[in-house]
Amino acid sequence: MSNELIKELCNTPGVPGCEDEISKIVIREIENSCTSYIKDSMGNLIFQVNKTIPNAPTILVDAHMDEVGFIVSHIEENGMLRVIPLGGIDPKLFYGQRLTIWGKTQIEATVAAIPPHISDKAATGATPVEDCLIDTGISAKKTRALIKIGDQVTFSTDCVIDNDRILSKSLDDRIGLYVLLETIKKINKKSLKCNLYVSASVQEEMGLRGARIINSNVNPDFSIALEGTVSNDLPGIPTHKKLAHLGNGPEIRISDKYLIADRGFNNYLQDTANKKKINFQLTAKNAGGTNATAFQVTGKGSKATVLSVPVRYLHSPSSVCLLKDVTSTIKLLTAGILNIHKFKDE
């Protein structure tokens, strides 16, 4: 387990369309573990891990590089800023937050908040993100010299790893990306009896945009989207709405709003986990979506599913997951890849 790599992935900015710095980390970490890679027209990275094995199954494993965040949309006359959200962000979480603006330099700012002494007590509801003011406290002239329309903006929270947990922004999907990187670095290519491809995709948070063009380059038989998934295991939440639980291992997803995962492939992963004595949990829901949807229905299609690390408070400034769930996900993914040639269609 490389805590420093997890911290680097989580702390490095990469909102949709601005994944270049994350892309550099991915290339640095696994380029030497792969046979070749390409960067396509959208910025997706697609790696061929081993040399082609004729007549062997092809499996694609993906994690997306982008995180939810914002871009600067307007600079007021007094130098204050407006931003628009990229990805699903609850406006109630935005008010009063510290932000980092990635302009010519890294600039800290705050979402302007009205002190309770003078606020309208009768006001209800959250102000839309695009209507909030972002205050750097810097003069208008200097602001315009440092910041321009389109600069990316992220929550200003550093990754903390201690006491067997991770507390950070962007665990969706930097923790899935970490699982991918560690698996590829540790897997013995000589043991592979499949054609293994991995992708680090872009713009998932804006509608699975990057993933939609990956299948045509790979034509996989199987595909796995690695994610940080919703864990709602909190006091007071009805049991049937808690979804994945922290500490219970990776989630194998049965369904979400846009996906019905391949039953046979899911059963294979469950059998693999049982044989290896790896804890896992099954989740069926009708909300959310991942790149697995795109891999299932684009190109020639594929047997697709989602393997996820449970995460509390997704798409917020501070999400939480457990190191042991990360380790279990790496173990299950590794075993699933190494034994995929044994898959039998049901």
Other CB atoms within a 10 A radius of the CB of residue 169 amount to 25
Residues 326-330: contacts with CB under 8 Å, at least 24 apart: 326/1, 326/166, 326/175, 326/178, 326/179, 327/1, 328/249, 328/250, 328/278, 328/279, 328/280, 329/179, 329/226, 329/249, 329/250, 330/179, 330/182, 330/183, 330/186
Q: Which of 204, 205, 227, 251 is catalytic?
A: 204
**Which residue, chain included where needed, has tokens 């200003």?**
156
Q: In angstroms, rounded to a whole number, what is the distance separating the alpha carbons of residues 33 and 211? A: 22
Q: Residues 216, 225: contact at Cβ < 8 Å?
A: no
Other CB atoms within a 10 A radius of the CB of residue 124 amount to 6
Active site residue 21: no
List active site positions: 204
